[in-house]
Structure 1
Amino acid sequence: MKRIYFDHSATTPVHPEVAAVLVNYMTDLFGNPSSVHSFGREARKAMDQARRQVAALIGAESEEIFFTSGGTEADNLAIKGVALANKKKGNHIITTLIEHHAILHTCEYLEKNGFQVTYLPVDEYGMISLEALERSITDQTILISIMYANNEVGTVQPIAEIGRLARQRNIYFHTDAVQAASNLPIDVKKDGIDLLTLSGHKFNAPKGIGALYVRRGVRIEAVQHGGGHERNLRAGTENVPAIVGLGKAAEIAAQNLTDKIVTLTTLRNTLIEGVMAEIPHVKLNGHPTQRIPGNANFSFLSLEGESLLLNLDLKGIAASSGSACSAGSLDPSHVLLAMGLSHEAAHGSLRISLGWGNTMEDVQYFLNVIPEIVERLRAISPLHAERIELSAQSPCQECQLH
């Protein structure tokens, strides 16, 4: 049976060139970078190179890159670290309702410890209002944290405009760019970004490695204590193989970014157009144009996303219904609810996320199998039967269900 991986927003396969350097630094070049002997110096040199490679991907300086265990730790370090270091200046943080839980739960923790948080709403496309953001700023605001691109619906926020506003008001701006890094061109200097989170396993590096960009001069405190690693900001012996792998993946991503954007945008648009043309009662979630290249998120009305996933898996297709980090939850997506979708539409969501290795043949195979799956599931769905009955009675009632 043909097997197709359409879940790159959840995680990605490790690139063969990345895997090769991983093995090399786990077996032959295994030194501790804090050691002064030749083994340690080799590891330190490799880590410094990785820092330069990651910095080049986002337009930063190498000394502004701090390695972490992944996106969640980097988000925690950014928000808690800035909050603790600047609490004498103010106690107000601004974020959005559609952030990753690494942001939302960290902000909830800070609320329990004397900080105030404003959660900005979004429109039907998952986009914030710059006017609402500006109105939310107070003389106590010390940090704005708004994700670059949403992990579920792919909507890309107006990052440069947010950065400009934050800079004008002398407020730090952090963005979770876990989904954007390697999918969009990023320039932290040009866009006024003070802190940026990225995670290796989202762009063909291993799991368990990420990085936080911290602009030189930003006031931030460590939240994990121990030795003086990562220039006293993140204690713990560095994971050299994963760091070197992250650097290699960043180098490959930078080299192939333009081609990747063109290829994935073409595949995504073909997939979206095919689904919308062939299947009735489907809604495309997220912004129609301002979205990351490989993301397509649909709501199939009258269906459960989990049923779609299971049936697609039987056809060899791996996809997602919402974010991977909450896959065990029966609650509808907080992102889709914040965008105004009903519980029914949110429960019927399907996320297709394309990436390295996907082809037009994969897309065509998906478009060949999805109509039959949807038709068969709707035939046994009590929700769909109710929809048809209401539609026959009154077209207006049918419209209300959309």
Structure 2
Amino acid sequence: MIYLDYAATCPIDEDALLAYIEISKNYFANTNSLHDIGGDAQHILENCRKQLASILGAQKEGLYFTSGGSESNFLAIHALLSSLPSSKNHIITAMGEHSSIHSTMKILEQKGYEITYLPYTATGAIDLAVLESSIQVNTAIVSIQHVNSETGAIQPIEEISFICRKYQLLFHSDLVQSFGKLPIPDLSTMVDGFSLSSHKFYGPKGVGACYIHPRLNGKSFYPHTTHENGFRPGTVNTPGIVAMVIAANKANQLISEESTHYNKLRQLFLEKIKNYPSLSVIENEAQLPSIIALRIKQTEGQWVLLESNRRGFAISTGSACQVGQQAPSKTMKALGYSDEEAKELVRISFGRNTSPIEVEQFAASLQDIAKNIHQTN
């Protein structure tokens, strides 16, 4: 089986895995325990916090370890809101955000918050003029992901930050798909909160990070908890955090090299399929090269996924599958596609171990799938 679904999850890096095993064996104590073994684990934890903050260009006092990107998104939004007066009850986000943001917004709507969902332009980005015109006197937060997980479109994070600063709004960004793939300089000056997930950059699953700028007087969603300075409950996953920081450091060092690798694979794939008009690639003005979103016209993405799987290729649809049917991709809907077109989306995503021959093999297989559909129709 050839794996082309790295935007969903990555295998753990070998160095990160060895560190995970070592810490699990020798530093397994609860970091809140008062005995020496607990103190050793706490020392390791704080050293990891310092290292990751340095990689991110953030302040370690605002960095909290979590179970992953989804929890980080949920906790970040609530923490940022808690630092503001209750009269600030309007949030601006995008239609194509990750499901963890959408579910958080649904909860907040039930609590009386007003949510504005911005569509995407044809370039794949939000319209900055529409963002600015959506701001109200009661607007509290803007939450826009840096890289879209379905199409790889890159949002103009610096320009969004400028608008938020202009109107004194808090800015949260989901960096799950961008960290370790794109350089993000001066991050702590651009956002008030962000979210990371370890397994997207070759760390272990079940661990992530959330940042809330220390200047904000945010409150924990969970009262009376002591772990992570009261930010979240539960025994801290010290082995996972150590492994995540090792993976983060390596990913950050390899950004330039891997970007070159992904651009070559992307151009190879696009060249191989360019003569098949039924294959429609979703191109964006600014795009992560490792993610390719496309459609076989008039064919549900779920069927293409299953047929690709039968042929030995692991890819994904643009959205989660439900029992017996595929829901329309939120991102495709945000781009203006119909429900039927949005269900046609499939996503291919490359990793550091993806080879040109694997890309050529998949391109040939996809062409064959499209050809067979065309002949049948």
Contact 1:164–1:191 (Cα < 8 Å) also in 2: no
Cα 1:102–1:188, aligned 2, differ >3 Å: closer, same or farther? farther
Does the 8 Å CA contact 2:198/2:207 hold for their aligned counterparts?
A: yes
The CA distance in 2 between the partners of 1:327 and 1:364, in whole Å, is: 31
Give the structure 1 partner of residue 330 of structure 2.
334
Are 1:75 and 2:73 an aligned pair? yes
Residue 190 of structure 2 aligns to a residue whose secondary structure is coil
User: Which residue in 2 is equivalent to 1:230?
Assistant: 228
Mapped to 2, the partners of 1:241 and 1:226 lie a distance apart of 25
Q: 1:95 to 1:188 in 2, by over 3 A?
A: farther
CA distance in 2, matches of 1:191, 1:165: 13
Distance in 2 (alpha carbons) for counterparts of 1:314 and 1:366: 12
Residue 250 of structure 1: CA displacement? 0.8
Quote the offset at 1:191 in angstroms. 5.5
- Once the two structures are TM-superposed, the CA of residue 303 in structure 1 deviates from its matched residue by 1.6
Match of 1:349 in 2: 345
Q: Is the 8 A contact 1:60 1:187 kept in 2?
A: no
Match of 1:359 among 347, 355, 362: 355
Which secondary structure state, in structure 1, belongs to the residue aligned with residue 326 of structure 2? coil
Aligned counterpart for 1:294 among listed residues 275, 283, 290 = 290
Question: Is the CA contact (8 Å cut-off) linking 1:125 and 1:285 kept in structure 2?
Answer: no
Q: How far off its partner does 1:189 sit?
A: 3.7
2:260 is aligned with 1:262: yes
User: Equivalents in 1 of 2:44, 2:22: separation in Å?
Assistant: 11
The alignment partner of 1:278 has SS state of: coil
Which segments of structure 1 move beyond 3 Å, counting only runs of 4 or more?
188-191, 325-329
Q: What are the equivalent positions in structure 2 for 1:121-132 lying under 5 Å apart?
A: 121-132=119-130
Q: State the partner residue of 1:59.
A: 57
| Offset of residue 347 of structure 1 | 2.1
In the TM superposition, 1:1-400 aligns within 5 A as 3-189=1-187, 192-275=190-273, 277-287=274-284, 289-323=285-319, 325-326=320-321, 330-380=326-376, 385=377
Partner deviation per Cα, 1:27-79 (whole Å, 9 max, x = no partner): 22212111233321221122122213322332212222111111111111111
**Bigger-Rg structure (1/2):** 1
CA contact (8 A) 1:57 1:186 kept: no
List runs of 5+ in structure 2 lacking aligned partners.
Answer: none
- Confirm or deny: 8 A CA contact 1:57 1:253 kept in the other structure: no
Distance 1:88 1:349, change over 3 A: closer
Alignment check: 8 A CA contact 2:278 2:370 kept: no
Could you tell me how far 1:84 is from its partner in structure 2? 3.0
Post-superposition shift, 1:169? Answer: 1.2
Deviations 1:266-285 (A, max 9, x none): 2122212322x132222221
Q: Is the 8 A contact 2:302 2:321 kept in 1?
A: no
1:219 positional shift: 3.2
Q: In structure 1, how many angstroms separate the alpha carbons of the residues matched to 2:337 and 2:133?
A: 25
Residue type of the alignment partner of 2:315: A
Distance in 1 (CA, whole Å) between partners of 2:33 and 2:327 is 48
Normalising by structure 2, we get a TM-score of 0.95
CA distance in 2, matches of 1:340, 1:22: 44
* Distance change (3 Å), C-alpha of 1:326 and 1:149: farther
Q: Using structure 1 for the length normalisation, give the TM-score.
A: 0.89
Q: Matches of 1:316 and 1:57 in 2, distance apart?
A: 37
> What secondary structure does 1:186 align onto?
coil
Q: For 1:36 and 1:132, how far apart are their aligned partners in 2?
A: 53
Amino acid at match of 1:171: L
Q: Name the CA distance, whole Å, in 2 between partners of 1:164 and 1:251.
A: 28
- String of CA shifts for 1:77-110, please: whole Å, max 9, x gaps: 1112222331335111111111111111111111
SS of residue in 2 equivalent to 1:178: coil
Q: Quote the offset at 1:208 in angstroms.
A: 0.9
Q: Quote the Cα distance in structure 1 between the aligned partners of 2:245 and 2:178.
A: 16
Q: What are the ranges of 5 or more consecutive residues in structure 1 without an aligned counterpart?
A: 386-402
Contact 2:63 2:209 in 1 (8 A): yes
| 1:74–1:210 CA contact under 8 A, matched in 2 | yes
Change beyond 3 A, Cα 1:191–1:120: farther
Corresponding residue for 1:393?
none
Aligned mates of 2:130, 2:298 — CA distance in 1: 34
Q: Contact (CA 8 Å) 1:49, 1:247: kept in 2 or not? A: no
Query: Is contact 1:95–1:145 with CA below 8 Å preserved after alignment?
Result: yes
Contact 1:144 1:173 (C-alpha < 8 Å) held by counterparts = yes
1:105-139 per-position Cα deviation (integer Å, ceiling 9, x unaligned): 11111111121111112112321011111111112
Is the 8 Å Cα contact of residues 92 and 142 (structure 2) preserved in structure 1? yes
Question: What is the letter of the counterpart of residue 292 of structure 2?
Answer: A
Distance in 1 (CA, whole Å) between partners of 2:120 and 2:239 is 40
